A and B are shown apart, each in its own frame.
Chain A
Amino acid sequence: MPGDLVHILIAAVICWINFVTIDLIFKLPLEGGVSGATEIARQIEEKKGALHGGFMMGNIVSSPDASAGTLLAACGVTIAGIPGGLFAALLVYIGNRICYDPGYAGTTGCVVATFLIYGFTQIGFSGADFIAGMVIAILTIQGISHVHASRLLARLWSWRWRS
């Protein structure tokens, strides 16, 4: 059991790095994709959060991004291996179009996560570790403190913007 917990925590760190990196590459913190995402960012900024971090959080709420891609890839790989993960990527692509999102952050995140998670299942991890890990990873961004999470994302975004 303690081994499982360690695996889940390691999986959470890997999922966190994967989805935040891909979201930053696809410039999610630049602006709100729909008016709802912009409004969420504005409300977070009102509570002394950071605007660009808020944009990213609003975009995560409004359309399946790399975090959703990572979760569904984990579900797909757990159930049916690499084909399951790629099928999940197709569903994320359809989900993006349903949510008026022209971007490819979700689909890319899902494909990258599929191969990453499959690789880890070859060295003793299970797909279930990554499902729980991704739920913990999204909890740290969206579910604990919006003010601190938005500031952290804005700081990461400022590094991305400068480079």
Chain B
Amino acid sequence: MAILIEDLALSICGLIAVYAAIRVVLEKDTMRKLPFLNVLSFAVSGAIALILPHPLSILAAAAYFVGSTLESNAIASAYAGGRHRDE
């Protein structure tokens, strides 16, 4: 409890990450899971930067975030039938 109050910003990121993870599990539709997954990526990227105050942490947070966004992009586009559907 003391840690929660001591580092409020990190606690908020952690709690929101857990909340988003629960929503991802509870949501049944794959496409509607992705915005919750997006919130999870935001919270984890923020936590990376808060836990590791080192110049390379910016790279770690950005690499994690872009990687997870690309995965969501790939899942959503594959689910939608890829680019061939419109052609």
Residues of A within 8 A of B (CB): 1, 4-5, 8, 34-40, 43-44, 47, 57-58, 60-64, 67-68, 71-72, 74-76, 78-80, 84, 87-88, 91-92, 94-95, 98-100, 126, 128-129, 131-132, 134-136, 138-139, 142-143, 146
Verify B66–A98 contact, CB threshold 8 A. Answer: yes
Verify A75–B49 contact, CB threshold 8 A. Answer: yes
Specify the main secondary structure of chain A where it touches its partner: helix
**Bound: A37/B77 CA distance, A:** 7
With CB as the reference atom, state the residue of chain B lying closest to A65: B69
From 63 to 81 in chain B, residues with beta carbon under 8 angstroms from any chain A beta carbon are 63, 65-66, 69-70, 72-81
A105 to B: closest C-beta gap in Å: 13
Which range contains the number of B residues in contact with the other chain? 35 or more
Specify the main secondary structure of chain B where it touches its partner: helix
**Bound: A143/B37 CA distance, A:** 9
From 17 to 70 in chain B, residues with beta carbon under 8 angstroms from any chain A beta carbon are 19-20, 23, 29, 31-32, 34-39, 42-43, 45-46, 48-50, 53-55, 57-59, 61-63, 65-66, 69-70
Verify B69–A61 contact, CB threshold 8 A. Answer: yes
Residue of A35, A57, A94 touching B35 (CB-CB under 8 A) = A57
Q: Which 7 A-B pairs have the closest CB atoms?
A: A36-B76, A75-B49, A39-B80, A95-B66, A36-B77, A91-B62, A132-B9
- Interface-central residue, B54, B65, B69, by most chain A CB under 10 Å: B69
Residues of B within 8 A of A80 (CB): 55, 58
Verify A99–B70 contact, CB threshold 8 A. Answer: yes
Other than the known A78-B50, A131-B46, A135-B13, what 19 A-B pairs have Cβ atoms closer than 8 Å?
A1-B8, A36-B76, A36-B79, A39-B31, A40-B31, A47-B32, A61-B73, A71-B45, A71-B65, A72-B61, A72-B65, A75-B62, A78-B49, A79-B49, A88-B62, A91-B59, A99-B66, A134-B42, A143-B19
